[in-house]
């Protein structure tokens, strides 16, 4: 067996793996593309109006939200929209405590006080939207 | 098989099992792993589940390359640095464990290519 063959075969295997990595990662990103589009939208339309068609049929009352009041099952409403913050509790850059504080409650005041109109904070929040707050 | 190859083979397959198991778990239930993401990822405009799935898929592909022993040294260094990052972020007992696993990866990277690996096959043919 020539040394070139062995070396080329190893390179071939590495290229196959690289291809799998790219295709697999592409699939993962593609499969969640609608969410990415909303998060990265920089057009005039607000993120909430973009996501509305996906969740417009789902609305929750404050009673529904109140049930989800623990760090392992954390819903909150912010400015008329309902979010499932469970997966975000320990990812919140400001610490878990300020998220746990609003589990099962309306977090509009706290969010506005802390983040104002921060685009970063809104982009992070919009990924977690599950519906609208019943008026 | 030379006896000197045995430690490297055992270490390589052990680390493959470790990464493959964690990768499959992350791909099967990404939401269960989101809590382990560092806080700064909260500001990325990417869902936590997607980050976990991308991480899991990368680990799985690199573990597959390690199974066949393809560029084992480079992959061991990459995965070792990845583990150092996790250890640094996690801290505590988990951090100590992951730092020790990272050192195992660096040990694998610094060792010779074993007889059962593609790297070993290439090296033997180059002599």
What pLDDT is recorded for position B49? Answer: 82
Give, for all 127 residues of chain B, the pLDDT tens digit.
555 788 999 999 999 999 999 999 999 988 778 777 877 787 777 778 888 999 999 999 999 999 999 999 999 999 999 999 999 988 888 889 999 999 999 999 998 888 899 998 888 887 7
CB B37 within 8 A of CB A89: no
A101 and chain B: CB distance < 8 Å anywhere?
Answer: no
What pLDDT is recorded for position B42? Answer: 75
Which residues of B are less than 8 Å from A92 in CB distance?
39, 42
Contact A28 B54 (CB under 8 A): yes
What pLDDT is recorded for position A1? Answer: 53
Mutation test of the interface with chain A: which of B32, B45, B51, choosing the one with the most A Cβ atoms within 10 A? B45
- ∠ CA B119-B114-B20, nearest 5°, is 80
Contact A32 B50 (CB under 8 A): yes
**How many helices and strands, by DSSP H and E, does chain B display?**
5, 0
A116 and chain B: CB distance < 8 Å anywhere?
Answer: no
Collapse the DSSP code of B49 into the 3-class scheme (helix H, G, I; strand E, B; otherwise coil) and give the result. helix
pLDDT, mean of each 10-residue run, chain A (135 residues): 77 93 91 56 43 60 92 91 88 80 91 79 83 86
What pLDDT is recorded for position A43? Answer: 45
What pLDDT is recorded for position A53? Answer: 44
What pLDDT is recorded for position B17? Answer: 96
Q: Say if residue B10 is exposed, middle or buried (CB neighbours under 10 Å; 0-12, 13-18, 19+).
A: exposed
Q: How far apart are CA A77 and CA A69, in angstroms?
A: 12
Which residues of A are less than 8 Å from B42 in CB distance?
88, 91-93, 124
What pLDDT is recorded for position B1? Answer: 56
B41 and chain A: CB distance < 8 Å anywhere?
Answer: yes
Q: How far apart are CA B124 and CA A115, in angstroms?
A: 61
Segments forming the whole domain that contains residue B59: 3-126
Domains held by chain B: number: 1
């Amino acid at each position: 067996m020539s040394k070139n063959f062995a070396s080329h075969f190893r390179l071939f295997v590495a290229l196959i793996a690289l291809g799998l990595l790219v295709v697999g990662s592409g699939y993962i990103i593609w499969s969640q593309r609608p969410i990415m589009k909303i998060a990265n939208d920089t057009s005039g339309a607000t993120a909430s109006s973009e996501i509305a068609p996906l969740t417009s049929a789902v609305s929750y009352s404050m009673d529904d939200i109140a049930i989800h009041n623990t760090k392992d099952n954390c819903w909150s409403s912010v400015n008329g929209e309902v979010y499932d913050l469970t997966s975000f509790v320990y990812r919140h850059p400001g610490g878990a405590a300020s998220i746990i504080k609003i589990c099962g409650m309306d977090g509009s005041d706290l969010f506005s006080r802390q983040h104002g109109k921060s685009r970063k904070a809104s982009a992070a929040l919009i990924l977690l939207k599950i519906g609208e707050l019943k008026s | 098989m030379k006896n000197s190859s045995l430690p490297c083979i055992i270490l390589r397959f052990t680390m493959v099992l470790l990464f493959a198991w964690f990768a499959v778990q992350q791909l099967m239930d990404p939401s269960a792993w989101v809590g382990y993401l560092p806080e700064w990822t909260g500001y990325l405009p990417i869902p936590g589940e997607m980050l976990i799935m991308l991480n899991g898929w990368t680990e799985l592909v690199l573990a597959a390359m390690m199974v066949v022993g393809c560029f084992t040294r480079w992959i061991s260094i990459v995965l070792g640095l990845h583990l150092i990052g996790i250890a640094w972020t996690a801290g505590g007992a988990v951090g100590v464990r992951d730092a020790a696993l990272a050192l195992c990866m660096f040990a694998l990277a610094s060792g010779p290519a074993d007889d059962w690996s593609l790297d070993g096959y290439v090296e033997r043919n180059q002599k």
